[in-house]
C-alpha cells in the first residue's frame, strides 16, 4: 500500500480522495470537516461536520457514499490516525478498496482534495461565523450541491461535475455481500 506510485482514476467513482479540515464555531468550539471527492469527475461526495471523527464515523460516511455510487477501486488519503486505523484497514479489505497513502508532508500528492478543501474554506467556512454544528452541516450540504451543479472546472472542459457525469453510465455495479 505505502510506497506505490499514485495512480489516477479512469472512470467516474473509481477513485475517491478524502481529507479533514479544522475550524471553529462562533463560540470558539473547534470542529472538523470530513471532505470527499471523486477524482475523475471532481464531484463532491461528502462534506460532513463533527466535533470528532473516530474511525467508525469515517467508515460510516464511506459506506453511505458507497450506497449511492458503489465502492471505489481506491481511496487516496493521508497518514492520519483515522485512515491508518485497524477499522479502516478492515473496511478496505472487506470492500476490496485499495488505500493509497500520500507521502507524509506532501499534501499536493492529494491535490484534488486540497483544491476542493480550498474552495470549502474560501466559499463556505470563511464567509461567516456558524453558531452551531447543525447549521454548519446544513450549509455544507447546500454548498456541496451548488459546487456539483454550478461550479465549472477547466479540467472538465468547463463543465460542472453534474454535466460531466451526464455523458457517463454511472449505474452502480453489483456489490458483493460482506456476509457471503
- The domain that contains 77 carries what CATH number? 3.30.420.10
pTM of the model: 0.86
Inter-CA distances, 173 with 70, 121, 170, Å = 6, 34, 9
Q: How much is the pLDDT for 122? A: 96
Q: Per the domain annotation, does 32 fall within a domain?
A: yes
The domain in which residue 82 lies consists of 15-113+120-135+143-165
Q: How much is the pLDDT for 171? A: 64
Q: What residues in the chain have per-residue pLDDT under 70? A: 1-6, 83-84, 104-110, 170-180
Q: How much is the pLDDT for 10? A: 87
Number of domains into which the chain is organized: 1
Q: How much is the pLDDT for 8? A: 82
Amino acid at each position: 500500500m505505502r510506497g506505490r506510485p499514485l495512480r489516477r482514476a479512469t472512470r467516474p467513482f473509481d477513485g475517491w480522495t478524502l481529507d479533514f479540515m479544522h475550524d471553529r464555531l462562533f463560540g470558539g468550539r473547534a470542529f472538523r470537516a470530513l471532505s470527499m471527492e471523486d477524482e475523475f469527475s471532481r464531484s463532491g461526495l461528502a462534506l460532513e461536520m463533527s466535533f470528532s471523527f473516530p474511525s467508525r464515523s469515517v467508515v460510516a460516511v464511506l459506506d453511505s457514499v458507497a450506497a449511492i455510487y458503489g465502492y471505489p477501486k481506491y481511496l487516496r488519503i493521508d497518514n492520519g490516525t483515522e485512515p491508518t486505523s485497524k477499522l479502516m484497514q478492515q473496511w478496505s479489505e472487506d470492500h476490496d478498496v485499495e488505500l493509497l497513502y500520500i507521502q507524509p508532508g506532501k499534501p499536493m500528492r492529494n491535490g484534488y482534495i486540497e483544491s476542493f478543501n480550498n474552495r470549502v474554506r474560501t466559499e463556505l467556512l470563511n464567509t461567516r461565523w456558524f453558531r452551531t454544528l447543525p447549521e454548519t452541516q446544513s450549509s455544507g450540504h447546500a454548498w456541496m450541491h451548488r459546487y456539483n451543479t454550478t461550479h465549472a472546472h477547466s479540467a472538465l472542459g468547463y463543465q460542472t461535475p453534474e454535466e460531466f457525469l451526464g455523458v457517463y453510465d454511472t449505474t452502480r455495479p453489483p456489490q458483493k455481500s460482506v456476509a457471503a
